A and B are shown apart, each in its own frame.
Chain A
């Protein structure tokens, strides 16, 4: 046990807004400024009410012989301080609604440039990704064909599904790594086959629960190349903390190159997606020994 007091106290000198991780998505900046707006309003209200509270505590502290003011309140005041917050909060509500529509209504992004499927999974705690492969079309999904060998339930009778690229955790403590292009609308179809997970991209201000039995659409548009972390934000078992993944944002060329390369590596297995069940078993048993 070690404790560095000056390091531990650093928070005290910093503004709350500086704690945000860097924003790299298009709508992220709007969410951040909405946060900042509520933050400044809150700080103002905080100082106002605390000033009043502290001033009253000092001014009206007990003094011998003083008698408090016999007063039951005033309807005009009640009316005023009902109305003022109503306007303030209505303003926040309207602004929020706009940002909410923009960030969460994935169907408002009708022609995404890239579409991927993502599954959270509990046996081994990680994420599974599925790219449509060279033909650019996903194979149909059939819930009845879901198995540990075919977690996405790709319909074996659909030829589009044969070349779908499925990327799973490499095993051990290494996080799964996937690439996506920058400045493109990315649509993620999110689900899970076991318990709830939550797909959290801190830098993109994206968070969405993965719900078994439901395919939920999430979208974002990354603006900056780099290496970002994927986290799980919904308790999904004792390995919940261990669901780290890496998302690498590339230029379109780099992304294409990576996709090609992945396809070559995984291609032998494409005819029956993730048929090598021992790979999963290995991955899952390895991930129990986690580094701290």
Chain B
């Protein structure tokens, strides 16, 4: 697997220019499919991820339908789905666990990470640091082209007789390794997408460190770039641990090893003849021939390794969003970002702490309670940098001159939802409170407030903000606002009540909650959530329609439609290969809005200072002392 890296070296340094020389007569395939242009790759990431967003959203709606109307046929599609998935048009218990597994996996690994990191990382980094392309363009291309096969492998599981992975997106052993071929495809797929992430992240870091435009200091980079830079560090250091854990689980499945299996486990023989669903029918007979495993392993070991990656992964998903929101807010409030350096240190703090708090996912897992105390304290500390960020965003719009574009509305929605998501996180950080709400819908509400309300609104904001630079066309603002209003309202109606369900004790990943007497009263509430979720799902078509409509009929975008300061707006309206049509030199930080000495309310990074040199110098000093 290193050969990809090794080959990519060929593209570095001096001969990377070779590509540019003949970019006029490249074939269609080289230009749009196997392109090394970071902007094309960003669009490819966007396209792939929007497809997976659709798929993952569909899974979510099927799950919701089952929770609202258990046993009732799914409307429209219920009767055309194959028998392995549904019975009498209603989702089976086995298919339900597959759906919840794949919903989580697809949304995290194939939607949020590729959108936040793959798409914005690729599009924004070279443009915002004022360079022509990534440090290693060909490596960048490989990193995208691992995604489609990985995604296909992930989805093929559905067509196996035994179904796809059904051990939750966390794939906890022994359930994971003891299930069938679906788990294998799941593991392989994660391994590939993880490798793609590492290749991408390596490239981002090399690009940011090495290819900044003349005069651009690290502490003059926009927050988006900072967010992506720290994210790349998290990916490089976290993902390989997951890769190691995945290899071990694969070995447990196919080499019959027992890294995660204790002695005398009465669980399915690792020859894949057994899937969890088939257990019941074979009953006792199976129990007997199951004692095949070598033993000596520990199930909790997987959880440690998994969360050692997956907790930082939460920040992998949210940090780029935080960066995007900072830029969008500052631009549309026409005001410098409040506390630029404090924001960067907060991101660094979150990233560092992110590596030492993973145990808070495991308070009830049976690890040493003493370790629980340690992890609780470190987790609670992580709330501080998050609070700093919120206050700084509020400080940014304070005394601003706020323009309510669709991009800015989504950015404001990000703050609004992140406040709720952050506050609900404090409940779980407190280990004793977590005893009760762990594995309930409270957690589901929290993760969706952070990842849908947080990451996805930030991504929407970024799409509205950078679409003009991506395609050279403006998105339709009024459709954008409609999309925002529908999404925001129904997002809250979908996920806020889940907190209440959680407090009511409603477990997550439950096929039919109404088996339990104490949950029967919550069926009307589940129905309400489902209807809100369906509307939320369908609201996203406004975005899709807007993109398609604007590509054809949208107004041509000017070079700098938002009158923003950062370097990407110095590029032509629809930049080609090589990005810029003039040399870029950077004179100041990215947030010089409403400078008192200037007529216009923005002062681009690339604009040469005129008149008194000392003024801009002073401004720069000022921004640094913050």
A/B touching: CB–CB < 8 A: yes
Binding site for B on A (CB under 8 A): 1, 3-4, 7-11, 14, 16-17, 19-21, 30-31, 34-35, 38-39, 41-42, 45-46, 49-50, 52-53, 56-57, 60-63, 66-75, 77-78, 81-82, 85-86, 89-90, 92-93, 96-97, 99-105, 121-125, 143-144, 146-148, 151, 153, 193-196, 198, 200, 202, 205-214, 216, 229, 231-242, 244, 277-278, 280-281, 284-285, 287-288, 290-292
A-B contact list, 16 entries, CB within 8 Å:
A1-B75, A3-B524, A11-B497, A38-B427, A46-B420, A72-B591, A73-B338, A85-B387, A104-B369, A148-B266, A193-B264, A195-B173, A205-B435, A213-B263, A229-B518, A244-B516
Q: A61-B404, A194-B265, A213-B262 are in contact. Are A292 and B503 (CB under 8 A)?
A: no
Contacts of A208 in B (CB 8 A): 364, 366
Instruction: Give the residue name and chain of the B residue nearest to A200 (CB).
Output: B507
Taking A35-B433, A143-B263, A235-B167 as given, write out 19 further A-B residue pairs in contact, using a Cβ cutoff of 8 Å, ordered by the A residue number: A1-B72, A10-B525, A38-B426, A53-B416, A56-B397, A70-B335, A72-B338, A93-B376, A100-B432, A144-B263, A147-B287, A193-B266, A207-B436, A229-B516, A238-B276, A241-B513, A288-B281, A290-B515, A292-B71
Kindly report which residue of chain A lies nearest to residue B267, judged by CB atoms.
A194
| A213 and B299 form a contact (CB under 8 A) | yes
What residues of B have a CB within 8 angstroms of the CB of A81 in the complex? 387-388, 391
The dominant DSSP class at the B interface is helix
B178, B334, B390, B433 pick with most chain A CB within 10 angstroms: B433
Q: How large is the interface on B (under 10, 10 to 19, 20 to 34, 35 or more residues)?
A: 35 or more
Assess whether B402 is in contact with A57, with CB atoms less than 8 Å apart: yes
Cβ of B1 under 8 Å from chain A: no
- Quick check: B415 and A53 within 8 Å, CB to CB? yes
Chain B 428-470 interface 0/1 with A at a Cβ cutoff of 8 Å (1 = within): 0111110111111000000000000000000000000000000
CA distance A290 to B412 in the complex (A): 47
A11-B497, A205-B436 known; A194 vs B266 contact (CB < 8 Å):
yes
Chain A at the B interface: SS class? mixed
User: B279 in the interface, Cβ–Cβ < 8 Å?
Assistant: yes
Q: Contact partner of A193 among B93, B265, B399, B528, CB < 8 A?
A: B265
Chain A residues with Cβ below 8 Å from B69 are 1
Q: Are B500 and A207 within 8 A (Cβ)?
A: no
From B71, B280, B399, A123 is in contact (CB under 8 Å) with B280
Contact of A212 among B277, B299, B509 (CB under 8 A): B299
Q: Nearest-CB distance from B483 to chain A (Å)?
A: 19
Q: Are A82 and B527 touching (Cβ within 8 A)?
A: no
Give the CA-CA distance A207 to B340 in the complex, in Å. 43
Please name the 4 residue pairs, one residue from A and one from B, whose CB atoms are nearest each other, closest first: A213-B262, A148-B287, A8-B528, A73-B339
| Contact between chains at B399 and A71 (CB < 8 Å) | yes
Residues in A whose Cβ lies below 8 Å from that of B395: 73, 77
Interchain CB contact under 8 A, B433 and A96: yes
Residues of B within 8 A of A285 (CB): 280-281, 283
From known contacts A89-B383, A92-B380, A281-B283, infer whether A100 and B431 are also in contact, taking CB-CB under 8 Å.
Answer: yes
Of B69, B342, B505, chain A has the most CB atoms within 10 Å of the CB of B505
A285: shortest Cβ distance to chain B, in Å? 6
Interface residues of B in 345-378 (CB under 8 A from A): 364-366, 369, 372-373, 376-377
